[in-house]
Chain A
Amino acid sequence: MLVSVMVVGIPFGIVARQSGLSPVEIMAMSLFVFAGASQFAMVQLFKDGVAWPLIAATVLLINLRHMLMAAALRPYFAGVSTARRLAAAFFLTDEAFAMAIGWFRRGRTELSYYVTFAVSLYVLWNTATVIGMLLGPTIGEPRRFGVDFAITATFIAIVVIGVRRRVDVAVALTAALVASALAYLGASVIAVVAAGALAPLVALLSRDEELA
C-alpha cells in the first residue's frame, strides 16, 4: 500500500508539472489538499479553465465519502482531545482508513497505529510529488508522446479498480455520458459537478445489493 502511494504520487507530479502548474502550486496541493484523486481532478479542471468555486465543489464531492470514514473511526478516538482529533482528521485518507479500521476491528485500540500509518502516507505522497515534479520537464512534448492522456488513463484505472458491483459500472457510464453530452452542448464548466452528483442516483435505483 505504501508502494502504491508512490506509484500514484509520481505520475501526479509529472502530469501536474506538464500541465503548466508551478512547483510551488503543485507542492501546495500535496501539502494542504492531500487527496489523490482530487488533485488529479484539479489538474484536469485547471486545464479546462473551470472557475475556482466549481473546482472546490468538485473536490468537496469527491471527498464527501470521508465523512463516512471519519464517522466510523470516531468511536475509537472517543478518549482523545478535540485538538488531537482535528489533527488526526487532516491525515484521513482511504488507505489510512482501510488500515486503521482493520486494526480496530481486530480488537486493538492503539491510536499510534493510525497516526504512524497516516503520517507515513503523507510524507510518502509529498516525496512522490517532488520526484514526479522533477521528472516532469524531462519528458518532452506532452502531446507527441501521449502524456496529455496520462491523467485520463489514471482516472479510468481508478474507476475500473473501484468496481465492485455491476451497478458501479452503470454509475460510471452514466456519469461519463452525461458529462460528455453537457460538454458537447457547451456546458463543460458544470459538466463534471452536475454529472458526478446525478449519476450516483443510479445506484439508489438498483435493488439492494450488499455493499462489498
Chain B
Amino acid sequence: MTWLAIAASALATYLVRAFAFTVAFPSTPPRRVARYLDALPAAIIAALVGPAVLVPNGHPTHGHELIAALVVVAIVARWRNLLAGVLGGVAVVALLRLVLPA
C-alpha cells in the first residue's frame, strides 16, 4: 500500500515533468490555464493544513493547533524564514499542550 503510493506518485511526478519537456505543450498556455496551474500547489498544501489545524484527528481543535498556526503565519510573514516558523510553531504547540492539556 505504501509502496504502491510511492511508485504511483513517482510515476505521476515524472510523467508531468517529462510530458511538456518532450511533447508539444504550448510554451504560453491560455492565461486561465496558467493561472489555475499557478494557484494549484499552494491550494493543495493549504488543503492539507486546514483539517490538521481545525479538525486534528477528526475532532474539532481545542485551539492549540490554531494558535500555533497563527504564530507560524506571523513569524514567516514577518521574517520570511521557514525554519524559524516551524520551530516557533512546534514550540507553541508543545507549550500549550503542557500548560493547557486538552
Contacts and interface: CB of A to CB of B under 8 A. Distances in A.
Given A90-B18, A177-B50, A56 B9 contact: yes
Nearest to A209: B35
Contacts of B21: 70, 73-74, 77, 85-86, 88-89, 92
A98 interface: no
A149 B5 contact: no
B60 interface: yes
Q: How large is the interface on B (under 10, 10 to 19, 20 to 34, 35 or more residues)?
A: 35 or more
Interface string B53-89: 1110010100001001100110011001011011011
Contacts of B1: 51-52
Contacts of A160: 72-73, 76-77, 85
B49 A152 contact: yes
Contact of A156 (B2, B35, B89): B89
Interface stretch (A102-110, A125-133, A179-187): A179-187
Interface of A: 4, 7-8, 11, 21, 25, 28-29, 32-35, 37-38, 41-42, 44-46, 51-53, 55-75, 77, 82, 85-86, 88-90, 92, 143-147, 149-163, 167-168, 171-180, 182-184, 188, 191-193, 195-197, 199-204, 208, 211
B89 A152 contact: yes
Contacts of A211: 34-35, 38
B99 interface: no
B70 to A, nearest CB: 9
Contacts of A202: 39
Given A68-B34, A70-B21, A86-B18, A196 B90 contact: no
Contacts of B50: 175-180, 183, 191, 195
B100 interface: no
Contact of B39 (A67, A155, A168, A173): A168
Given A56-B12, A71-B26, A179-B48, A153 B40 contact: no
Contacts of A152: 48-49, 52-53, 65, 69, 89
B22 A86 contact: yes
Contacts of A65: 37-38, 40-41
A61 B6 contact: no
A44 B48 contact: yes
B22 to A, nearest CB: 5
Contact of B80 (A29, A69, A161): A161
Given A171-B43, A184-B54, A196-B46, 9 more contacts: A38-B9, A51-B1, A52-B1, A55-B5, A60-B12, A65-B37, A153-B69, A162-B41, A200-B35
